[in-house]
Amino acid sequence: MLISDIAAGLAAGTLAARDHVESCLAAIDSEDGARAFITVNDAAARAEADRIDALRAAGATLPPFAGITLSVKDLFDITGEVTRAGSRVLDDAAPAGRDATVVARLRAAGFIIIGRTNMTEFAYSGLGMNPHYGDPRSPYGRDDGDGRIAGGSSSGSAVSIADGMAAATIGTDTGGSTRAPAALCGIVGMKPTARRMPSAGVYPLSTSFDATGPMATSAECCAILDDLMTGGEGRIEAAFPLAGLRLALPRGYLFDELDPQVATAFDAAIDRLSAAGARITDISLDILEELRPANRPKSIVSAEAHEMHRAMMASRRDGYDPYVAARLSAGGDISAADFIAMKRERAQTCAAVQAVTRPYDALLLPTSPAIPIPIDGLRGIETLMKASARVLRNTALSNYLDRPTISLPCHAPGAPPVGLSVMGSRGHDRRLLAIAAGIEDVVKGRA
């Protein structure tokens, strides 16, 4: 259900906040709810819903989204709660003294925080698995052995939306952590231009790449959340006209070795967009073909993540997920000169790509080359490394270029979930959301 529909029902009195909360808690009360959430604020959520219902019945003026449920990735500070970042090494950390800025803004808009969602430990994998709190599972293929990955790192957040455990959620995205789970769970997820979102109260992984982003059932819902998170009032964007929209497909390695289901769903969505009047052009980004910057073993992200954790790893490494510990250690041999050179190369690459893509309204590419991967076969650090790199191969490019990108589901009903990514220009996030609103129904096969 759309956030706007829930808000309308609450305002009209056809839906009680308590009933909405109870519906979400009933969905959480399941095996997959236990996997998706680290903590559930059932008593507090019920009390807040009752308070809102009583105020509304008394005719009080309430915030526009009062009574709508929100799940929060375990990377954000919530007043009075310990932020564990999906780990156990922070169990003894002090509770947060205040909400993260984006959480405070959503709370002020009336959202009810229903719980903290599970995630990859310290947000450092595209698989979404967690040995401490369980592995969130994609809605697709849950009856196959242990099920299939939900994508990471915001895995629990994506499942909470896909399973109706919350109306909205927030995640973080350093290499694809909102968009990969969105694609693998059949929902919508957005990575904004990094500096648009305040980072206060969000546990960092890589300060050069981290971006807080919304995840929900539609582009419209993401637009509402994005506006609130950046200090607005929750406005949506009018749909950008589809006819004549200039869209580019950056052919090359981003389209190599796609799972057959991904290629089929993506190509069908492109055909629908073309038939609806979009002008779609194949382009080649030679500089990306040469560099293939995403998922490099030595990278700005790996250097910054290592620096963030080196002191804690020195004394508490045994408490880390061994896979995450191995990834964090890998950034330890990057020299200062290499780090400076990588930052310069990134800036030059961003400028070169912008020069080629300036004539287009957006770029389109498969969000991930893979459909959800069976959990059964993901054993051993090397296997996990390769699987994560594959899931995040395409998403990590948007982080490297720092361009806002939104993933929209494009698969047929009952088919494996597949995401189509729409990449905009840096700083033009609201225009991207208008484009997404204009093409979403066609991409989803609803128009």
Q: Are 25 and 99 in contact (CB under 8 A)?
A: no
**Which segments of 238-283 does DSSP mark as H helices, in order?**
260-275
Q: Which amino acid is at 23?
A: S
Q: Which amino acid is at 110?
A: G
- The rounded Cα 162 to chain-centroid distance in angstroms is 13
Establish whether 73 is a catalytic residue: yes
Q: Which two tokens stand for residue 25?
A: 């808690």
| Selection from 71, 199, 174 nearest residue 124 by Cα | 174
Phi, psi (deg, nearest 5) at residue 281: -125, 135
| Selection from 268, 270, 68, 239 nearest residue 168 by Cα | 68
Q: Are 442 and 280 in contact (CB under 8 A)?
A: no
d(CA 213, CA 172) in angstroms, rounded, equals 6
Active site residue: 125, 154, 155, 177, which one? 177
Establish whether 177 is a catalytic residue: yes
Q: Which two tokens stand for residue 346?
A: 């990134």
Q: Are 367 and 268 in contact (CB under 8 A)?
A: no
Q: Is the dihedral of CA 387, 389, 394, 398 positive or negative?
A: positive
d(CA 364, CA 267) in angstroms, rounded, equals 11
Active site residue: 138, 153, 302, 407, which one? 153
Among all chains, which residue has been given the structure tokens 């002020």?
108
Query: H or E element: which one contains 424?
Result: none
Neighbours of 130 (CB within 10 A): 25
Active site residue: 73, 125, 398, 444, which one? 73
Q: Which sequence positions are flagged as catalytic?
A: 73, 153, 177
